[in-house]
Chains A and B, each alone.
Chain A
Amino acid sequence: DVKVTQSSRYLVKRTGEKVFLECVQDMDHENMFWYRQDPGLGLRLIYFSYDVKMKEKGDIPEGYSVSREKKERFSLILESASTNQTSMYLCASSAARQGSNQPQHFGDGTRLSIL
């Protein structure tokens, strides 16, 4: 079974802090993704990566950055946390295979509160 592990289930930080959310997958997947999920808005894509050191902006990248130094690990960084970044953050990974229906596998999520 695919295992996507997010380092924290719950996290509380203060406005202006630098926040790191970590995600590790154990299936040697090429692709990794960060989403946030908010009531009434659904899941929205922040950033994704298709290879080590490669990153692409998603639909809502403002206020975030990412790091992919190793294939299995994808980090989401809030450079200066703000209250509107309080949300559930979900990491996902998928295998790269052209023309194939590779689903994304999600971690359990990190519920981040910015005070």
Chain B
Amino acid sequence: GQNIDQPTEMTATEGAIVQINCTYQTSGFNGLFWYQQHAGEAPTFLSYNVLDGLEEKGRFSSFLSRSKGYSYLLLKELQMKDSASYLCAVRNGMGSGGGADGLTFGKGTHLIIQP
């Protein structure tokens, strides 16, 4: 089966750092994605990990440990506009290849930034 867990809600302070964790148990693994979704809007792509280690992209970093089935998204220098839901998603790689298999999403973490 497929199971992806992430905290339902987190609160952080403007200017601080926050880490959003994601654990997964899936029947296959071909990459992990993080998306940001503001209320009433489409999810937008943030990062992708397929190998163990840290991927850094500006204020956002994402880490993966395949042996532990674990990832985290790190947000630095938090801004009010970072208030959103953050979605962890796994591509299980069971499809025909070329990315033509859907993603299994966690339920999302609602991040609240306080002044």
Q: Which residues of A contact B (CB under 8 A)?
A: 4, 30-31, 33, 35, 40-45, 48, 50, 56, 58-59, 90, 94-98, 100-109
The answer on a CB contact under 8 Å between A48 and B101 is: yes
The answer on a CB contact under 8 Å between A106 and B44 is: yes
With both beta carbons as reference points, the residue of chain B lying nearest to A47 in the complex is identified as B102
Q: Within the complex, what minimum Cβ distance (angstroms) separates A22 from chain B?
A: 16
The answer on a CB contact under 8 Å between A103 and B33 is: yes
Interface of B is mostly: loop
> Contacts of B44 on A, CB cut-off 8 Å?
106
Q: Within the complex, what minimum Cβ distance (angstroms) separates A72 from chain B?
A: 16
With A58-B102, A101-B48, A106-B43 as contacts: A41 and B107 at CB distance below 8 Å: yes
Q: 17 A–B contact pairs at CB < 8 A?
A: A30-B98, A30-B100, A31-B98, A31-B100, A42-B87, A42-B105, A50-B98, A59-B2, A59-B102, A90-B43, A100-B99, A101-B31, A101-B48, A103-B33, A103-B48, A104-B103, A105-B45
| Nearest 9 A/B pairs, CB to CB | A50-B100, A96-B98, A45-B102, A103-B45, A42-B107, A106-B42, A101-B48, A43-B105, A102-B99
> Contacts of B106 on A, CB cut-off 8 Å?
42
Question: How many residue pairs at the A-B interface have CB separations less than 8 Å?
Answer: 71
Interface of A is mostly: loop
12 additional contacts, CB 8 Å, given A43-B105, A90-B42? Answer: A33-B103, A42-B107, A42-B108, A43-B103, A48-B101, A48-B102, A50-B100, A95-B99, A98-B97, A101-B31, A102-B99, A104-B45
A48-B104 Cα distance, complex, nearest whole Å: 13
Chain B interface: which size bin?
A: 20 to 34
A30-B100 Cα distance, complex, nearest whole Å: 8
Q: Within the complex, what minimum Cβ distance (angstroms) separates A40 from chain B?
A: 7
The answer on a CB contact under 8 Å between B99 and A97 is: yes
With both beta carbons as reference points, the residue of chain B lying nearest to A31 in the complex is identified as B100
Among B43, B106, B108, find the residue whose CB has the most chain A CB atoms closer than 10 A.
Answer: B43
Q: Does B74 sit at the interface, judged by CB under 8 A? A: no
